[in-house]
Every structure is written in C-alpha cells, then in structure tokens.
Amino acid sequence: SHLRFSMPYRALFTRVLRPDTANRLVDALAVLLVRLHNVGFYWGDVSLSNTLFRRDAGAFAAYLVDAETGELHEEGLTDGQRAYDLDLARTNIAGEIMDLAAGGRLEHGVDAVAIADGIVSSYRSLWAELTAQESFDVSETWRITERVERLNALGFDIDEMSMSTTADGTVVEIQPKVVDAGHHQRRLIRLTGLDVEENQARRLLNDLDEFRARSTKQWSDEEMYAHEWLTRVFEPVVRAIPYELRAKLEPAEVFHQVLEHRWYLSQAQGRSVPLAEVLTSYINEVLRHRRDEATIMGPPTETMSLPVITGANPVSDDDEVDWRDLV
C-alpha cells in the first residue's frame, strides 16, 4: 500500500542535492537500519533507492520499500551480519550520490564518500546508545532517567529494564523497542486504570519500570508492581499537593513535572534526592507560581482531583500521606 506523503530520495530536492539534505537522509536511513537490526531483520540491499522518506519536523523519517533480500532472524543478528549490511549501505549510498554528481544534481564541493561514511558513524552511535550497559554508584540512580530520555529522543521506547548490584556499583540493562501509536496509553490503562495523554503515559510507565527494577519483590505479574507503584508513589504525590493548588495542573502532568524536578535536583546535587524532598521543593518553587490551568477553559470551581483508579480503593483528601513511601 502507498505510504502517504512519502517520497523517493530524488524527489526531496528541487535541482541539486545540498549537503545538509544528504546528511539528514543518511541519518534517517541509519535510524531505520538500527531499528531493523534491533528486531533481528537483515536487509541485504540497503540503499537510498530502496527507501521512502517522509518529512518529520525538519528531519526525515525513513521507511523500507524493497524487502525481497530481507531475512528475519528470531535469535537476532550477529555482529558480522550487521557489519555486512552497514558496509553495503555505505557502498550503495556512495554510488548513488556519485551518480547524482555525474548527472549534475549534486551541489558543487559535496564529498559523496564523506556523506556515505556518515551512515557508519550515525549507525554506530545509535547502536551503542541502544545496547550499552551502564554502571554507576547507587547514589546516582537519577542517571537512569537521562538514559531513558536519550532513547526516547531517538524514537525508541523501553521494553524491559533490569538492575543488578555488583562490586563496582549498580549495572542497568535496558531493552529498547519500537512501539506503535497509543501503546503507552493502552498499557497504562491496562496496568493502573489511569487514562492520560500519550507522552504522560510514557513518562509514568518509565517511572513504573524503574520502580519495578528497584523492587526486591519477586512477583510474576507486572500488574502487582503497578498496583504497588500506584499506591506507594503516584497517589501519595497527587495527595501531597495542597488543596488550594490543585487547579494548577491535572494530576498526571503534576506527577510528570515532579519527576522532571527530581531529575533536575538530583543532577545539580549529584545524588538521588528523596521524593519527599523533591515534592516540597516542587510545590514551593514551581507549582505555586503557575497559573490555574483548570480555570482557563472551565468554571472557577474546578480543582485537581484524583483520577478514577480501576480496582483501587477510593482516596479522600483527609488521607494522610505516608512520607516513608516517597523515597
């Protein structure tokens, strides 16, 4: 079927191919190749000609067109298979850009080989970001957030996260994957009953996955970890917001901003700041200075309320927050 608004690479420039356009095309192809290799797909004929491109906020998104030579390996690809695909990509791209130069369709002074070499460096940096294991001191767990955000920015999401403690520190293993639109909303509703926006759901799930990775419990169902996270982390944070400030933002956005504030404080102080301490700072330094978003489009009586939690006990404003849970 036809991919709407997609174009072959020759249609993405009017007369001559400029170097910045060429580099963006190669970067997009590198992302595509990393995604394919990540799921065990060997392309076998990587080239600009076998790819369609769509414009994506100043960059390009690349899509595989010709998969006749492709092979899916359930056990994953070897380093040799990945290297062969990457070398083939470099050779084909160099040839395609040289063809453009021969036809007078390449801006003067552009180095075809240098552009083709770009896919190698882009691919290797992306692959390293996806597969690298990181170790750090137990006081620096906030670095997990940085790693996850870097992966999110590259267009990857977290499938699994595990943590183990060694003599050298804590080792984090992250398994990235590519997901379809609305995946995070559906997963969060299934696990917690919270119905929020997609990016909010992604952030909440990242925190839930970190919570699960740190947990000492050995439950087989992730729903049990989700209920524990909901009652020990999410709900206490929302309940801790003073009543007069609950019109500022909806609960999921407040929680997201608290996580952002925790990362900011932890990075600045070089330690994992306890959530109770983060909350006090966030409420006094950030939330109090925001305008009331609930009153912008609605009646002034609207205030922040806890969302309906499927399968959870109702929580009243009189419930006392157990600050020991907020660590």
Same structural domain, 267 and 127:
no
- pLDDT, one tens digit per residue, over 110-147 is 788 888 898 898 899 888 887 777 777 767 777 777 87
pLDDT of 224: 94
- pLDDT, one tens digit per residue, over 45-83 is 888 887 776 665 556 666 676 667 778 888 889 999 999
Same structural domain, 125 and 153:
no
- What is the number of helices (H) and of strands (E) in the chain? 10, 7
Residue at token pair 């083709």? 116
Q: Give the C-alpha separation, 200 to 208, whole Å.
A: 12
Assigned domain for 139 exists: no
Residue 157 main-chain phi, psi, to 5 deg:
-120, 165
Domain that holds residue 28: 9-131
Assigned domain for 33 exists: yes
Same structural domain, 126 and 153:
no
User: How is 117-159 classified by DSSP, letter by letter?
Assistant: HHHHHHHHHHHHHHH--EEE-GGGTTHHHHHHHHHHHTT-EEE
Same structural domain, 172 and 52:
no
Residue at token pair 């392309």? 43
Same structural domain, 202 and 295:
yes
- pLDDT, one tens digit per residue, over 220-267 is 888 999 999 999 999 999 999 998 888 878 888 899 999 999 999 998
Same structural domain, 179 and 127:
no
81 touches 42 (CB < 8 A): yes
Same structural domain, 221 and 258:
yes
Q: What pTM value is reported for the model?
A: 0.52
Assigned domain for 143 exists: no
Same structural domain, 26 and 175:
no
Same structural domain, 58 and 166:
no
Query: Which residue type does 253 have?
Result: E
Assigned domain for 141 exists: no
Same structural domain, 159 and 185:
yes
49 touches 96 (CB < 8 A): yes
Domain's final residue, options 131, 159, 182: 131
